[in-house]
C-alpha cells in the first residue's frame, strides 16, 4: 500500500493550509468567544471548491477523491473546527447523498448550487428521542397524494440557521418500522418551517446549531429521495461516509494541538532547559505523534476504500472512533504541556480541547462506533 500523497493531493493540502493560516486563524478566537458563524470564510471555501469536493464537475463540484477531501479537512480543522464541520456536513452528508441517490432533476435543482457553495445544506436526522437510534423517528411525513405533510422537531442540526436546503428524515408509515422512513428535500422559507434559537455550546461555537420545527409543511412528492421507504437506508449510507468527514475533523484538531504543544515545549524553559528535554514532556509528545499518525492512516484507509466502492461501515467507524479519541487525548495533553497558559484562550489549545469533545458525540457516539465495529468482526 502506498501511503504517499499524490502531487495533486499535496497541492490541495497546501491550498487548504494556506487558506486556513491566512483567512481562518486571524479571527478564530473572536468567532469562538462570540459564537460567530464564519460567513465570509465559508464563502471563500466555496470559491476554492471545498464545499463540493467529491461532486462530479457536471454538477458543480471539484471531482476530487476522498483522500483529497481528508487532507483538506485536516488542514481546515487544525485551525478552526467550526469551519471544518460546515465543510464536512455540506460534503459528506448533503452533497454526497444527493449525488448518489437523487434523480437528475433533483440534482440539477439542489445539488448544483450546494456543490458550488452558492448555498449550504443541513442533514436533519437527530431528534429529542432519536439521536443515534435512527429507527425511532417521531417526525412524520403523511402522504397526502401529490405532497407529504411534514410535522415534528429536529435537534442539534449543524448549519441549521444558515442552510437553504435541508435533508429531513421522517416516518411515513409507523407500522412498517424502519421500512416506513423516507428522506425529503426541504427548502428554507416554506410555510410551517421554523428555526429555533442558536444553541449555546461548549465547543465548535462558530458552527450554526439549531432545532428545527415543522408544522404542517407541505413537501412536494418530487422532493422525496428514492423509492418509498428508502429513507432509513439512505440515512445509514450517508452517515457511513459522514464518519470519514468527522474523523478528518478530529484528526485536524489533534494535529493542530500537537503542533502548538511541540512548539511551546521547544520554547518554554523550566529548570534551565526547554521542557521538551524533560522526559515527562517528551514522552507525552511521542505518544501524541504516534496516535495522530495511526489516526491519519485509518482516515486514509477508509477514504481509499470509499473511492474503491467498498463497504466503509467498518473502516469508517474505526477511523471515527480512533481519531475522535485521539483528538480528545491529544488536546488534553496539549493543555497540560502548556500549563497555566493552556487554560487561557490566546494559546488556542483550550478551545481545541472543547472542540474535540463533539467529535466523540456526533455522527454516532464512540459507543455506537464500537457497536458497528464489533458487529463487523462476526462474519
Residues belonging to the active site: 363
Query: CA–CA separation, 73 vs 67, rounded Å?
Result: 10
CA 370/CA 325 separation, integer angstroms = 12
Largest CA distance in the chain: 78
Please name the residue that has the C-alpha cell 442552510: 163
Q: Is 219 exposed, middle or buried (0-12, 13-18, 19+ CB in 10 A)?
A: buried
Half-sphere exposure of residue 118: CA atoms within 13 angstroms, side-chain side? 10
CA distance 331 to 355: 9
Which grid coordinates belong to 299? 482516515
Only one residue has cell 456536513, namely 89
Taking phi over 0 as left and psi of -120 to 50 as alpha, with beta for the rest, 95 belongs to alpha
Under 8 Å between Cβ of 250 and 320: yes
Distances (CA, A) of 174 to 139, 143, 147, 206, 345: 11, 12, 18, 37, 48
Cα(68)–Cα(187) distance, rounded to whole angstroms?
30
Q: How many CA atoms lie within 13 A of 215 on its CB side?
A: 5
Amino acid at each position: 500500500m502506498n501511503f504517499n500523497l499524490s502531487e495533486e493531493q499535496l497541492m490541495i493540502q497546501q491550498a487548504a493550509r494556506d487558506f486556513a493560516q491566512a483567512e481562518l486563524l486571524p479571527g478564530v478566537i473572536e468567532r469562538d468567544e462570540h459564537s460567530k458563524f464564519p460567513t465570509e470564510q465559508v464563502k471563500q471555501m466555496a470559491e476554492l471548491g471545498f464545499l463540493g469536493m467529491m461532486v462530479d464537475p457536471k454538477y458543480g463540484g471539484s471531482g476530487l477523491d476522498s483522500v483529497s477531501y481528508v487532507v483538506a479537512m485536516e488542514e481546515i480543522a487544525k485551525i478552526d473546527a467550526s469551519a471544518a464541520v460546515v465543510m464536512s456536513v455540506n460534503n459528506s452528508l448533503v452533497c454526497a447523498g444527493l449525488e448518489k441517490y437523487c434523480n437528475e432533476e433533483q440534482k440539477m435543482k439542489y445539488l448544483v448550487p450546494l456543490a458550488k457553495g452558492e448555498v449550504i445544506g443541513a442533514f436533519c436526522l437527530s431528534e429529542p428521542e432519536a439521536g443515534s437510534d435512527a429507527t425511532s423517528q417521531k417526525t412524520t411525513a403523511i402522504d397526502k397524494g401529490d405532497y407529504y405533510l411534514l410535522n415534528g422537531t429536529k435537534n442539534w442540526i449543524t448549519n441549521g440557521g444558515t442552510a437553504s436546503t435541508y435533508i429531513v428524515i421522517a416516518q411515513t408509515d409507523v407500522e412498517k418500522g424502519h421500512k416506513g422512513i423516507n428522506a425529503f428535500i426541504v427548502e428554507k422559507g416554506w410555510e410551517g418551517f421554523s428555526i429555533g434559537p442558536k444553541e449555546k455550546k461548549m465547543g465548535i461555537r462558530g458552527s450554526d446549531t439549531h432545532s428545527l420545527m415543522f408544522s404542517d409543511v407541505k413537501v412536494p412528492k418530487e422532493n422525496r429521495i428514492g423509492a418509498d421507504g428508502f429513507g432509513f437506508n439512505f440515512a445509514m449510507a450517508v452517515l457511513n461516509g459522514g464518519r470519514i468527514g468527522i474523523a478528518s475533523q478530529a484528526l485536524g484538531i489533534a494535529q493542530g494541538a500537537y503542533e502548538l504543544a511541540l512548539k511551546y515545549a521547544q520554547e518554554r524553559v523550566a529548570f534551565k532547559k526547554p521542557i521538551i528535554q524533560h522526559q515527562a514532556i517528551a514522552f507525552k509528545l511521542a505518544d501524541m505523534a504516534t496516535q495522530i499518525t495511526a489516526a491519519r492512516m485509518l482516515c486514509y484507509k477508509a477514504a481509499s476504500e470509499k473511492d474503491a466502492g467498498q463497504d466503509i461501515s467498518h473502516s469508517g467507524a474505526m477511523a471515527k472512533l480512533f481519531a475522535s479519541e485521539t483528538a480528545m487525548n491529544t488536546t488534553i495533553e496539549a493543555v497540560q504541556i502548556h500549563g497555566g497558559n493552556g487554560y487561557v484562550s490566546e494559546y488556542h489549545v483550550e478551545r481545541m480541547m472543547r472542540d474535540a469533545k463533539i467529535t466523540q458525540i456526533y455522527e454516532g457516539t464512540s459507543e455506537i462506533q464500537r457497536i458497528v465495529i464489533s458487529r463487523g468482526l462476526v462474519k
